[in-house]
Amino acid sequence: MDSGTNARALENSDELEASHFLVKHKALPAELYNEIIGYLWNDSHALKSCALASWDMTRPSQKRLFHSVAICPQPEPLPESIPTKYKDDPRNATIGTFSKFQQLLDGSPHIAQYIISLHLSDLSWSYRLQVHEFEYPGIGFRTHGGRRWLLTDASLQPYLGLLRNLKALTIECEGNPLEGSCSTFRAILQQPSLLYIRILRSSCPIQALNRTIGPNIEHLSLIDWCPEDETSPLSFEPPSSQVYLKTLTIRSPTAFVSLMTSPTFRLQTSRLRRLVIHSQSYSEKHLATWTILETCSSTLEEFEFRPTHREWCFCE
């Protein structure tokens, strides 16, 4: 036997030994796999590799990969004026569209139970890029539109129904996501597991949210909302139980306070631990802020006050 054959035989025996070791020690405790995968929580490439490497690692890897899911619109192609080197930038890749989400859950429905946080975005400016990134001084911001899907695609509702462990939901869209009696989101907003709701850039009336959300909601963030059209009929029985919030983020405390006196207003602030008020500045409106603060004066631990530039102009 020549030296080359010997070396190959040794390599084969090493491989054989390694495979025997793997077979022998296959049944590592699940907690150990979980612990190992836990270190890779923010490394999606490694998690994907682990999910494919071994059946034992598939479940813990998928749990972390799909813990937080975002569904965004299909982006439009970047304009020609942007240098080519940026067009291939992975940041602008087509990611997390609803069709991909459908394919994912159709092929692997068990993944739905791993989704804890869901971000639904339908904004035309999701791909806004800062000018400095492209070294174009003085132009301002570039915006890129996307195909709207969130309020038009009726097939979303059954998929939302699969997310039985969902705890956090962010809806980012123009328009009212709760419009109509058969709103796509009504069922998910009353789901017992859901604790956190964040609605951004939407014209969602707070009254509609008030009568739709389940009593288990603890964290509510409403950066933008609009007054409700009171003529719109209510075709379902709203829940009557109070919603005791632990954290609240709002833009207009004056409007919020005006609703607090209503007997049907369920959003209670008496147990708030964290309050974030956006965009208030001059003392007149501090009265409304104080009205909310007073209700939670014995529980509030964090208070964040964020006025904006435009409001300062009003002070002139």
Under rule CB under 8 A, residue 74 binds other proteins:
no
Measure CA 150 to chain center: 14
Phi, psi values for residue 100, rounded to 5°: -70, -35
Under rule CB under 8 A, residue 70 binds other proteins:
yes
What's the CA gap between 278 and 304, in Å, rounded?
Answer: 8
Instruction: Find the binding residues for other proteins in span 85-144 (CB under 8 A).
Output: 90-93, 95-96, 100-101, 104, 126-130, 132-133
Instruction: Find the binding residues for other proteins in span 268-307 (CB under 8 A).
Output: 281-283, 286-287, 289-290, 293-294, 297-307
The answer to whether the CB of 115 falls within 8 A of the CB of 67 is yes
Q: Closest separation between CB of residue 302 and other proteins, Å?
A: 4
Under rule CB under 8 A, residue 267 binds other proteins:
no
Instruction: Find the binding residues for other proteins in span 20-49 (CB under 8 A).
Output: 42, 44-45
Q: In 3-state terms, what secondary structure has residue 168?
A: strand
Instruction: Find the binding residues for other proteins in span 193-232 (CB under 8 A).
Output: none
User: Within a 10 A sphere around the Cβ of 33, how many other Cβ atoms?
Assistant: 18
CB closer to other proteins out of 236 and 303: 303
Q: Shortest CA distance to 98 belongs to which of 119, 131, 116, 73?
A: 73
Question: Which of 37, 57, 65, 204: binder of other proteins (CB under 8 A)?
Answer: 65
Q: Please, what sign has the CA dihedral across residues 164, 166, 167, 172? A: negative
What's the CA gap between 257 and 273, in Å, rounded?
Answer: 18
Question: Which of 35, 68, 228, 265: binder of other proteins (CB under 8 A)?
Answer: 68
The token pair at 89 is: 């930038």
Binding residues for other proteins (CB under 8 A):
42, 44-45, 65-66, 68-70, 72, 90-93, 95-96, 100-101, 104, 126-130, 132-133, 281-283, 286-287, 289-290, 293-294, 297-309, 312-313, 315-316
